[in-house]
Structures are given as structure tokens and as C-alpha cells.
Structure 1
Amino acid sequence: MCLRAGGDPAIFYHNSYWQLDPDEALIIEFRPPENCRTWNFQLSNYWMESLDYRHRRIHINRHGATLEADGTCRLVVAHACPGPQYPNWLSTTGHRCGSMLLRYVEATEFPPITTRVVPQATLKNA
């Protein structure tokens, strides 16, 4: 469910919690709304504090994401880089759990988001 959180009425949020063992990866897939001014996704720690964005990639937005041919955005959250075939990899910066937030600005539709945890070793073979 996409919610407003007060403040600007044009901003909507999906917020969730993640937990990964060192050998796991979280796959997040969604189709960004075409009518959305912008969107961004970020990882935070358990207390919703920012992870180390200065040294690791912990966030992505519509300008930096690589979309699939069908317009789907596939993000991979993992402790280690799964390889260049996953350009939207985001680092846990060593945290085993935390929160994640997807924000839409001026969107009028909110396509579904799917998530799944997989063994990271299966990504290297893809």
C-alpha cells in the first residue's frame, strides 16, 4: 500500500523492513509509474537512519536506475556486489537488517511491488 506521510500531499511512500543473511540477496521489482515526476529508493538501518551513502551505493532514483526492456526496475540488495549484470545493486553496508523506502513524487498510479529473498550464489549464475 502506498501512503502519504504528511507534509507535501504529492509525495507517496512505500516503507518496509528487510533482513538478510550474509549469503542472501533481496530482489525488488516494480514498474515506475509513467506519470510520476520522480521516484527514489533508499536503504536505512533499523532506526531509519541513513546508511553510509558516501562510500556505498544505498539509494537509487529514476535518473540512475537501469530499467529492463519492459520498463521494470529490478533492484538487488545484498552484502556483496552480485556482478555487473546487476547494475541496480544496493549495498547493505554490513547491516543484516534495516528499513527501505520507495518514494513517488506526483504519481497518480501505484503499480505493485514484488520482493523475494534468494541465495546470492544464484545471482552469479544468471
Structure 2
Amino acid sequence: MADDQQGPNWKLEDDLETVTLTFPTGPVVVLTLNVAQLEDILKNLGDFRARMKPQIPEKYAVGQKMVFAINNPSWFTEPELMQGNSLLHIRDPRFGWLSYHIPSEEALKLSGYLQGQVAVKQAGPQGPRN
């Protein structure tokens, strides 16, 4: 391994059950992580990132370049029984099932936006058909 390498080297092993992480330090440090250990690292890194500065912007910058989007993720929604709001669960293949508590007013707005986007797509370039 070259001494001038800046960051760690990640490798998914052939068994598809372990990841090897090599730090190009002196001496070289090699960690082999199973799925549970890797998920623990992801959770902790996410928790740390949520507390770091600069914070993730509260508002999405409309028109920004989309770098990566999950295509047609599995999702599930259910009522949140304590306050009568909604729980939205979305499967991210990188991070597992992510769950979001959506207040009723926001759920109503979201459903309206989604319905509006579907209506525009269905209408096509000529407008609605009667």
C-alpha cells in the first residue's frame, strides 16, 4: 500500500458479508466488519453528523443537482397512535428502513403535492382530457 494514500481503503469481501477497512497509517490498521458492526458504525456516524456543524439545511434547495436518488424504494405508512399523525417508513438499501414522524398537516401537504405531480404527468403536454 502506498504511503501517500490519503484516506482509508474500503473493500467488500467476496462473501458479501464482511467489509475490510484498511487505514494507511504506520503501522497499517486493518478492520474486518460484519453487517451488525457496519450498521452500528453507520448509526453512530449518522448521529454524530446530526450534531455537527455546519448543519444540514432545514430547507431543500429547489433546483439543485440531484446526485443520487433511490429508484422506487419500498415504503410503508401507518398511523402514529399517540398524536394521530403519520409514520412513514422508507427502505434505503444503504441504511435500512428509515422512519419519519409526519404531522397531519404536513402529511396532507405531501399527499397533495404527490397527487398534483401525478395529475400533471397524466395530463401530458396537451392538458387534461375530457
Q: TM-score range by the shorter chain?
A: under 0.3
Structure having the larger proportion of residues in strand:
1
The normalised TM-score by structure 2 is 0.21
Q: Given the two structures, how large is their TM-score scaled by the length of structure 1? A: 0.21
The structure number with the bigger radius of gyration is: 2
More helix by percentage: 2
